[in-house]
Amino acid sequence: AQTVTQSQPEMSVQEAETVTLSCTYDTSESDYYLFWYKQPPSRQMILVIRQEAYKQQNATENRFSVNFQKAAKSFSLKISDSQLGDAAMYFCAFTQGGSEKLVFGKGTKLTVNP
Amino acid sequence: EAQVTQNPRYLITVTGKKLTVTCSQNMNHEYMSWYRQDPGLGLRQIYYSMNVEVTDKGDVPEGYKVSRKEKRNFPLILESPSPNQTSLYFCASRSLDRSSYNSPLHFGNGTRLTVT
Protein backbone atom coordinates (compact mmCIF):
# COMPACT_ATOMS: atom_id res chain seq x y z
CA ALA A 1 0.00 0.00 0.00
CA GLN A 2 1.16 3.48 -0.80
CA THR A 3 2.01 5.74 2.11
CA VAL A 4 2.85 9.42 2.38
CA THR A 5 4.92 10.77 5.25
CA GLN A 6 5.23 14.39 6.31
CA SER A 7 7.79 14.40 9.10
CA GLN A 8 7.27 18.00 10.21
CA PRO A 9 3.98 18.50 12.07
CA GLU A 10 4.74 22.23 12.38
CA MET A 11 7.06 24.72 10.74
CA SER A 12 7.53 28.45 11.00
CA VAL A 13 9.14 31.03 8.73
CA GLN A 14 9.74 34.75 8.79
CA GLU A 15 7.88 36.82 6.25
CA ALA A 16 9.89 37.18 3.01
CA GLU A 17 12.09 34.20 3.86
CA THR A 18 12.14 30.76 2.25
CA VAL A 19 10.84 27.57 3.82
CA THR A 20 10.89 23.94 2.70
CA LEU A 21 8.27 21.39 3.70
CA SER A 22 9.24 17.73 3.51
CA CYS A 23 7.32 14.81 2.07
CA THR A 24 8.35 11.26 1.37
CA TYR A 25 6.26 8.51 -0.14
CA ASP A 26 6.45 4.80 -0.62
CA THR A 27 5.44 3.03 -3.81
CA SER A 28 6.69 0.31 -6.09
CA GLU A 29 4.97 1.84 -9.10
CA SER A 30 6.64 3.99 -11.73
CA ASP A 31 3.56 5.87 -12.94
CA TYR A 32 2.21 8.21 -10.30
CA TYR A 33 1.39 11.81 -9.49
CA LEU A 34 2.20 13.95 -6.50
CA PHE A 35 0.39 17.00 -5.19
CA TRP A 36 0.67 19.65 -2.53
CA TYR A 37 -2.58 21.03 -1.16
CA LYS A 38 -2.93 24.08 1.06
CA GLN A 39 -5.65 24.39 3.71
CA PRO A 40 -5.94 27.90 5.17
CA PRO A 41 -8.08 28.61 8.25
CA SER A 42 -11.10 28.88 5.93
CA ARG A 43 -10.81 25.05 5.59
CA GLN A 44 -10.75 25.15 1.80
CA MET A 45 -8.45 22.61 0.16
CA ILE A 46 -6.49 24.42 -2.52
CA LEU A 47 -4.20 22.73 -5.00
CA VAL A 48 -0.78 24.37 -4.84
CA ILE A 49 1.31 22.33 -7.22
CA ARG A 50 1.38 19.01 -9.04
CA GLN A 51 4.20 16.79 -10.31
CA GLU A 52 4.04 13.91 -12.74
CA ALA A 53 6.54 11.17 -11.88
CA TYR A 54 7.61 10.75 -15.48
CA LYS A 55 8.72 14.37 -15.67
CA GLN A 56 12.26 15.03 -14.54
CA GLN A 57 11.79 18.77 -14.38
CA ASN A 58 10.62 20.09 -11.04
CA ALA A 59 7.21 21.78 -11.12
CA THR A 60 7.02 25.49 -10.34
CA GLU A 61 4.06 27.76 -9.67
CA ASN A 62 5.13 31.33 -8.98
CA ARG A 63 6.70 31.33 -5.48
CA PHE A 64 6.05 27.62 -5.00
CA SER A 65 8.39 24.98 -6.33
CA VAL A 66 9.12 21.35 -5.62
CA ASN A 67 12.27 19.31 -5.29
CA PHE A 68 11.27 15.95 -6.73
CA GLN A 69 13.83 13.24 -6.02
CA LYS A 70 12.37 10.12 -7.60
CA ALA A 71 15.06 7.69 -6.48
CA ALA A 72 14.79 8.91 -2.90
CA LYS A 73 10.97 9.07 -3.13
CA SER A 74 11.04 12.60 -1.86
CA PHE A 75 8.78 15.49 -2.84
CA SER A 76 9.51 18.65 -0.87
CA LEU A 77 7.74 21.97 -1.31
CA LYS A 78 9.72 25.19 -1.29
CA ILE A 79 7.94 28.48 -0.63
CA SER A 80 9.99 31.53 -1.54
CA ASP A 81 9.38 35.07 -0.32
CA SER A 82 6.88 33.79 2.26
CA GLN A 83 3.80 35.89 2.79
CA LEU A 84 1.36 36.06 5.69
CA GLY A 85 -1.27 34.50 3.46
CA ASP A 86 0.86 31.38 3.11
CA ALA A 87 0.07 30.43 6.70
CA ALA A 88 -1.92 27.21 6.47
CA MET A 89 -1.86 23.44 6.76
CA TYR A 90 -0.06 21.85 3.85
CA PHE A 91 -0.81 18.34 2.73
CA CYS A 92 1.27 16.20 0.46
CA ALA A 93 -0.71 13.67 -1.59
CA PHE A 94 0.00 10.78 -3.91
CA THR A 95 -1.98 8.96 -6.55
CA GLN A 96 -0.95 6.06 -8.69
CA GLY A 97 -1.40 6.52 -12.42
CA GLY A 98 -4.90 5.45 -13.44
CA SER A 99 -5.97 5.00 -9.84
CA GLU A 100 -8.98 6.64 -8.29
CA LYS A 101 -7.37 6.88 -4.87
CA LEU A 102 -5.53 9.90 -3.47
CA VAL A 103 -3.45 9.18 -0.37
CA PHE A 104 -2.66 12.10 1.92
CA GLY A 105 0.07 12.77 4.42
CA LYS A 106 -0.82 13.97 7.90
CA GLY A 107 -0.04 17.58 7.14
CA THR A 108 2.39 20.30 8.16
CA LYS A 109 1.13 23.43 9.85
CA LEU A 110 3.02 26.46 8.55
CA THR A 111 3.17 29.67 10.55
CA VAL A 112 4.44 32.85 8.92
CA ASN A 113 5.83 35.41 11.37
CA PRO A 114 5.70 39.12 10.47
CA GLU B 1 -18.69 28.85 -11.47
CA ALA B 2 -17.27 25.33 -11.25
CA GLN B 3 -17.67 24.08 -7.72
CA VAL B 4 -18.39 21.33 -5.27
CA THR B 5 -21.11 22.29 -2.80
CA GLN B 6 -21.48 20.64 0.56
CA ASN B 7 -24.22 21.24 3.07
CA PRO B 8 -24.40 21.96 5.87
CA ARG B 9 -21.11 23.62 6.83
CA TYR B 10 -21.68 22.91 10.50
CA LEU B 11 -23.79 20.22 12.12
CA ILE B 12 -24.24 19.27 15.76
CA THR B 13 -26.25 16.17 16.47
CA VAL B 14 -26.75 13.49 19.09
CA THR B 15 -25.71 9.87 19.09
CA GLY B 16 -27.98 7.68 17.01
CA LYS B 17 -29.86 10.37 15.11
CA LYS B 18 -29.59 9.68 11.40
CA LEU B 19 -28.14 12.46 9.30
CA THR B 20 -27.19 13.17 5.70
CA VAL B 21 -24.50 15.49 4.40
CA THR B 22 -25.18 16.51 0.84
CA CYS B 23 -22.60 17.00 -1.89
CA SER B 24 -23.23 18.31 -5.38
CA GLN B 25 -20.86 19.18 -8.22
CA ASN B 26 -21.59 21.09 -11.42
CA MET B 27 -18.59 19.98 -13.46
CA ASN B 28 -20.03 16.71 -14.81
CA HIS B 29 -17.29 14.80 -13.01
CA GLU B 30 -17.47 11.04 -12.99
CA TYR B 31 -15.47 10.57 -9.83
CA MET B 32 -16.65 11.69 -6.40
CA SER B 33 -15.27 10.91 -2.99
CA TRP B 34 -15.74 11.55 0.72
CA TYR B 35 -12.88 12.18 3.14
CA ARG B 36 -12.73 12.80 6.83
CA GLN B 37 -10.03 14.97 8.34
CA ASP B 38 -8.86 14.48 11.91
CA PRO B 39 -5.98 16.20 13.73
CA GLY B 40 -2.74 14.31 13.31
CA LEU B 41 -4.28 11.87 10.84
CA GLY B 42 -4.64 13.95 7.69
CA LEU B 43 -7.42 13.11 5.26
CA ARG B 44 -8.71 9.58 5.02
CA GLN B 45 -11.02 8.32 2.33
CA ILE B 46 -14.43 7.03 3.41
CA TYR B 47 -16.15 6.09 0.16
CA TYR B 48 -15.76 6.91 -3.48
CA SER B 49 -17.76 6.58 -6.67
CA MET B 50 -16.51 6.17 -10.21
CA ASN B 51 -19.89 6.88 -11.79
CA VAL B 52 -23.64 6.64 -11.28
CA GLU B 53 -24.61 3.57 -9.26
CA VAL B 54 -20.93 2.65 -8.78
CA THR B 55 -19.59 3.10 -5.25
CA ASP B 56 -16.80 1.51 -3.28
CA LYS B 57 -15.26 1.59 0.17
CA GLY B 58 -12.26 3.69 1.01
CA ASP B 59 -10.03 3.27 4.04
CA VAL B 60 -12.53 4.11 6.81
CA PRO B 61 -16.04 3.17 5.60
CA GLU B 62 -17.45 1.78 8.87
CA GLY B 63 -20.52 3.66 10.06
CA TYR B 64 -21.13 5.43 6.74
CA LYS B 65 -23.25 4.90 3.67
CA VAL B 66 -23.30 6.65 0.33
CA SER B 67 -25.41 6.63 -2.79
CA ARG B 68 -24.89 7.84 -6.35
CA LYS B 69 -28.25 7.96 -8.07
CA GLU B 70 -27.33 11.00 -10.15
CA LYS B 71 -23.99 12.04 -11.53
CA ARG B 72 -23.91 15.38 -9.75
CA ASN B 73 -24.88 14.23 -6.24
CA PHE B 74 -23.07 12.05 -3.74
CA PRO B 75 -24.63 12.24 -0.27
CA LEU B 76 -22.94 10.85 2.83
CA ILE B 77 -25.29 9.12 5.24
CA LEU B 78 -24.67 8.37 8.89
CA GLU B 79 -27.44 5.97 9.93
CA SER B 80 -26.53 5.98 13.62
CA PRO B 81 -23.83 8.57 14.33
CA SER B 82 -21.44 8.05 17.21
CA PRO B 83 -19.04 10.50 18.92
CA ASN B 84 -16.04 8.96 17.13
CA GLN B 85 -17.52 10.28 13.89
CA THR B 86 -17.01 13.84 15.08
CA SER B 87 -14.77 15.19 12.35
CA LEU B 88 -14.34 17.53 9.42
CA TYR B 89 -15.75 16.01 6.25
CA PHE B 90 -14.84 16.85 2.67
CA CYS B 91 -16.49 15.90 -0.55
CA ALA B 92 -14.36 16.02 -3.68
CA SER B 93 -14.74 15.32 -7.37
CA ARG B 94 -12.67 15.06 -10.50
CA SER B 95 -12.96 14.09 -14.12
CA LEU B 96 -11.97 10.63 -15.29
CA ASP B 97 -11.86 11.76 -18.90
CA ARG B 98 -8.68 10.63 -20.63
CA SER B 99 -7.98 14.20 -21.67
CA SER B 100 -7.72 15.18 -18.02
CA TYR B 101 -5.76 12.15 -16.89
CA ASN B 102 -5.19 12.22 -13.19
CA SER B 103 -6.65 15.69 -12.93
CA PRO B 104 -6.55 17.11 -9.42
CA LEU B 105 -9.43 16.83 -7.00
CA HIS B 106 -11.87 19.70 -6.56
CA PHE B 107 -12.94 19.96 -2.94
CA GLY B 108 -16.05 21.26 -1.24
CA ASN B 109 -15.70 23.67 1.67
CA GLY B 110 -16.08 21.00 4.32
CA THR B 111 -18.69 20.05 6.91
CA ARG B 112 -17.78 20.24 10.58
CA LEU B 113 -19.76 17.49 12.31
CA THR B 114 -20.05 17.14 16.08
CA VAL B 115 -21.78 14.12 17.56
CA THR B 116 -22.55 14.35 21.28
**What is the per-residue pLDDT across B34-51, written as a single tens digit (0 to 9) for each?**
999 999 899 999 999 999
* Chain B interface includes A16 (CB < 8 A): no
Other beta carbons within 10 angstroms of residue A99's beta carbon come to 15
> Chain B partners of A47 at a C-beta cutoff of 8 Å?
104-105
**pLDDT, tens digit only, all 114 positions of chain A:** 679 999 999 999 999 999 999 999 998 888 889 999 999 999 999 999 999 888 889 999 999 999 999 999 999 999 999 999 999 999 999 988 767 778 999 999 999 999
The pLDDT assigned to B100 comes to 55
Contact B104 A98 (CB under 8 A): no
Establish, for the pair of chains A and B, how many residue pairs have beta carbons separated by less than 8 Å: 46
From the number of C-beta atoms within 10 Å of its C-beta (0-12, 13-18, 19+), residue B38 rates as middle
Q: How would you label A56-70 residue by residue, b for 16+ Cβ within 10 Å and e otherwise?
A: eeebeeeebbbebee
The pLDDT assigned to B97 comes to 73
Contact B102 A33 (CB under 8 A): yes
- Touching A: B residues 9-48, CB under 8 Å: 31, 33, 35, 40-45, 48
The pLDDT assigned to A78 comes to 98
Q: How is chain A split among helix, strand and coil, in percent rounded to 5? A: 5, 55, 45
Contact B102 A104 (CB under 8 A): no
DSSP state string for B21-79 = EEEEESS--SEEEEEEEETTTEEEEEEEEEETTEEEE-S--TT-EE--SSSSB--EEES
Contact A45 B41 (CB under 8 A): no
Distance (Å, rounded) from C-alpha A50 to C-alpha A93?
9
**What is the per-residue pLDDT across B71-98, written as a single tens digit (0 to 9) for each?**
999 999 999 999 999 999 999 998 877 6
List the single residue in A95, A104, A107 with the smallest CB-CB distance to B102: A95
Chain B CA closest to residue A89: B42
pLDDT surpasses 70 at B99: no
The pLDDT assigned to A76 comes to 97
Q: Are A53 and A31 in contact (CB under 8 A)?
A: yes
pLDDT surpasses 60 at B101: no
> Chain A partners of B58 at a C-beta cutoff of 8 Å?
101
The pLDDT assigned to A104 comes to 93
Q: How would you label A24-40 residue by residue, b for 16+ Cβ within 10 Å and e otherwise?
A: bbebeeeebbbbbbbbe
The pLDDT assigned to A31 comes to 86
pLDDT surpasses 90 at B108: yes
Q: Are A68 and A49 in contact (CB under 8 A)?
A: no
Using only the alpha carbons of chain A, give its radius of gyration.
14
What Å distances lie between residue A89 and A33, A45, A107, B91, CA to CA?
20, 9, 6, 18
Q: Say which residues have a Cβ less than 8 Å from residue A14's Cβ, sequence separation at least 6.
A: A82, A112, A113
Distance (Å, rounded) from C-alpha B57 to C-alpha B80?
18
The pLDDT assigned to B98 comes to 64
* Chain B interface includes A29 (CB < 8 A): no
Percent of chain B, pLDDT > 90?
Answer: 86
